[in-house]
């Protein structure tokens, strides 16, 4: 009986430790414009929002522009493709994980770097 209690405790402690160390790993560093956002906008919102690529829609090619428009950006990328204002215009909807990068960036405080 004592042995059983000890093994149950041991297993419990192992589970607890692995839970703690794995939950630490998921506490990721805050997202930043330069690391997480710039490349997505440069790929998914080009050429329309990138003046140097000939885009004539509102420029979203700088940190300031994306930061200032973030609420509008998040609203539009969450629409369905058939809804008015959907972005990226005439393209497939962004994946849930890509949309989550924008919302997480906002939650993390809209950092530049
Ligand atoms: C094929 C061209 C095209 C692509 C790609 C595109 N857009 Fe747009 N976007 C437009 C046009 C044209 C407008 C202006 C018409 C309107 O407001 O719907 C616009 C407007 C917007 C606006 C409103 C700007 C304002 O006037 O305040 C936002 C925000 C926006 N787009 C975000 C995005 C984001 C984010 C992406 C990439 C994920 C993207 N768009 C991809 C063409 C595009």
Q: Is the CB of 75 under 6 A from ligand 1?
A: no
Distance 26 CA to ligand 1 centre (A): 33
pLDDT tens readout for residues 93-108: 999 999 999 999 999 9
pTM: 0.82
C-beta 69 within 6 A of ligand 1: yes
What are the structural domain ranges in the chain?
33-107
Instruction: Write the pLDDT tens digit of every residue in 8-57.
Output: 655 555 545 566 555 556 678 999 999 999 999 999 999 999 999 999 99
Rounded Cα distance between 110 and 71, Å, is: 11
User: Is 48 touching ligand 1 by the criterion CB < 6 Å?
Assistant: yes
Q: Which atom of ligand 1 is nearest to the CA of 88?
A: 41
Q: How far is the CA of 97 from the CAs of 40, 55, 78, 94, in angstroms?
A: 12, 26, 12, 8
**Which residues neighbour 97 within 8 Å (Cβ) at sequence distance 6 or greater?**
none
């Amino acid at each position: 009986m004592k042995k059983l209690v000890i093994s149950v405790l041991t297993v419990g402690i192992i589970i607890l430790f692995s839970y703690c160390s794995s939950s630490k790993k998921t506490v990721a560093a805050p997202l930043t414009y330069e690391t997480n956002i710039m490349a997505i906008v440069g790929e998914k919102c080009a050429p329309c929002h990138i003046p140097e690529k000939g885009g004539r829609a509102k420029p979203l090619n700088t940190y300031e522009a994306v930061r200032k428009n973030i609420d509008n950006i998040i609203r539009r990328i969450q629409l369905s493709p058939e809804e008015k204002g959907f972005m990226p215009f005439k393209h497939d909807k962004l994946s849930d994980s890509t949309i989550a990068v924008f919302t997480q960036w906002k939650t993390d405080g809209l950092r530049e770097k």
